[in-house]
């Protein structure tokens, strides 16, 4: 029987079962290098932050260090290394979110998987908080742009109160504000802070101001005699609910002033010299001794003819 000569079969190596001594494409199995454990943000300031982590398990006898990488959106990563379990990142931008990664690195350069966390630096506080003007029931305050916040969206929260009252809170995107509906002759504490869109706030900057105490109104000489004179004035505006009294001072040229007080809106000045000009001043006085500006007038007593 004629048949073709049988050809020998071609030897084929099963790549899934490498021959003895064959590396199988130099593949090797190795244990996974453990990553740092429990990455925490310990503290955050305006331009710095402290992060820490735990020793990776199973590396007690193996020399290693850690590579830290951090960046904010739109910037290149900063990379640094340490053999410690913590690091302080400096030179950061205030009020900015940062992503941080840490990995374990062996002496041969082999790296573990990355562990990641994020944080937002504290926004910087407003600068140069100034009281620009004070009136009886209002005051204007202003401040400068917080340093390093030119490219970060933010606004300002203003709080003000007098002793024994709840704070009034306002917000503005401007660098100034007028505080209104204040009590006259009263000291106020004012604080301002920077606020990010996510609600994170800067440290407070503070100042105090005292509203103007209104002086008596419409000081009038009602009558004049040889040795006496009657003067009166109107209730200062805004003091309906505030305890106060009035200080009256009067004198003629070359003499010391006579000073007296009253809670009334009028007074009779006695023991004056006939035919003499007197200067009279009146001011409002609070219980704490704070005084308003003076209002003044003059009068001349009647000359006595004997």
Domain CATH for 85: 2.60.40.10
- Tokens 């400068």 -> residue: 144
> Does the pLDDT of residue 90 top 90, yes or no?
yes
- Indicate if 56 and 92 belong to the same structural domain: yes
Question: Does residue 55 fall inside a structural domain?
Answer: yes
Please give the average per-residue pLDDT across 258-265, as a whole number: 96
In sequence order, the β-bridge partners of residue 231 are 221, 267
Starting at the edge strand found earlier in the chain, the sheet holding 217-224 runs 217-224, 229-234, 266-269
- Indicate if 45 and 107 belong to the same structural domain: yes
Please give the average per-residue pLDDT across 49-75, as a whole number: 91
Higher pLDDT, 263 or 3: 263
The pLDDT tens digits of the residues spanning 107-116 come to: 899 999 999 9
Question: Does residue 284 fall inside a structural domain?
Answer: yes
Judge whether 230 and 204 are in contact, CB under 8 Å. no
Of the candidates 95, 67, 90, the one whose C-alpha atom is nearest the C-alpha of residue 80 is 67
- What is the C-alpha separation between 195 and 203, in angstroms, rounded? 10
Judge whether 239 and 277 are in contact, CB under 8 Å. no
pLDDT at position 14:
37
> Does the pLDDT of residue 221 top 80, yes or no?
yes
- Indicate if 287 and 240 belong to the same structural domain: yes
- What is the C-alpha separation between 113 and 122, in angstroms, rounded? 29
pLDDT at position 266:
97
Q: What is the mean pLDDT of the chain?
A: 88
Question: Does residue 6 fall inside a structural domain?
Answer: no
Q: Where a domain ends, among 172, 190, 210?
A: 210
Q: Where a domain ends, among 93, 120, 147?
A: 120
pTM as predicted: 0.73
Of the candidates 182, 150, 275, 263, the one whose C-alpha atom is nearest the C-alpha of residue 225 is 275
- Indicate if 203 and 186 belong to the same structural domain: yes
- What is the C-alpha separation between 2 and 17, in angstroms, rounded? 39
- What is the C-alpha separation between 138 and 103, in angstroms, rounded? 57
Question: Does residue 295 fall inside a structural domain?
Answer: yes
Please give the average per-residue pLDDT across 4-24, as a whole number: 36
The pLDDT tens digits of the residues spanning 60-69 come to: 878 999 999 9
95: containing domain? 37-120
Question: Does residue 19 fall inside a structural domain?
Answer: no
Q: Where a domain ends, among 88, 120, 152?
A: 120
- Indicate if 72 and 44 belong to the same structural domain: yes
Q: How far is CA 261 from each of CA 22, 244, 294, rounded to the nearest angstrom? A: 113, 11, 14
């Amino acid at each position: 029987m004629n048949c073709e000569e049988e050809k020998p079969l071609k030897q084929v190596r099963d790549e899934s079962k490498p021959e003895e001594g064959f590396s199988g494409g130099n593949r090797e199995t190795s244990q996974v290098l453990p990553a740092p454990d429990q990455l925490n943000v310990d503290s955050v300031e305006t331009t710095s932050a402290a992060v820490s982590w735990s020793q990776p398990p199973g590396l007690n006898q193996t020399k290693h260090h850690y590579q830290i990488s951090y960046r904010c959106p739109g910037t290149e990563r900063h990379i640094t290394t340490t053999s410690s379990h913590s690091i302080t990142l400096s030179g950061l931008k205030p009020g900015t979110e940062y992503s941080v990664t840490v990995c374990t690195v062996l002496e041969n350069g082999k790296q573990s998987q990355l562990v990641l966390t994020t944080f937002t630096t504290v926004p910087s506080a407003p600068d140069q908080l100034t009281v620009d003007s004070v009136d009886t029931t209002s005051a204007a305050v202003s401040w400068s742009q917080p340093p390093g916040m030119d490219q970060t969206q933010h606004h300002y929260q203003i709080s003000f109160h007098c002793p024994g009252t709840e704070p009034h809170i306002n917000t503005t995107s401007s660098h100034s504000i007028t505080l209104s509906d204040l009590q006259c002759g009263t000291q106020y504490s004012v604080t301002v802070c920077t606020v990010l869109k996510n609600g994170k706030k800067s440290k407070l900057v503070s100042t105090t101001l005292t509203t103007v105490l209104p002086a008596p109104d419409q000081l009038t000489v009602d009558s004049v005699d040889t040795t006496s004179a009657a003067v009166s004035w109107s209730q200062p505006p805004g003091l309906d609910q505030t305890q106060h009294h009035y200080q009256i001072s009067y004198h003629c040229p070359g003499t010391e002033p006579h000073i007296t007080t009253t809670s009334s809106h009028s007074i009779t000045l006695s023991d004056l010299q006939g035919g003499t000009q007197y200067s009279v001043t009146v001011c409002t006085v609070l219980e704490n001794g704070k005084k308003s500006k003076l209002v003044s007038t003059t009068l001349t007593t009647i000359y006595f003819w004997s």
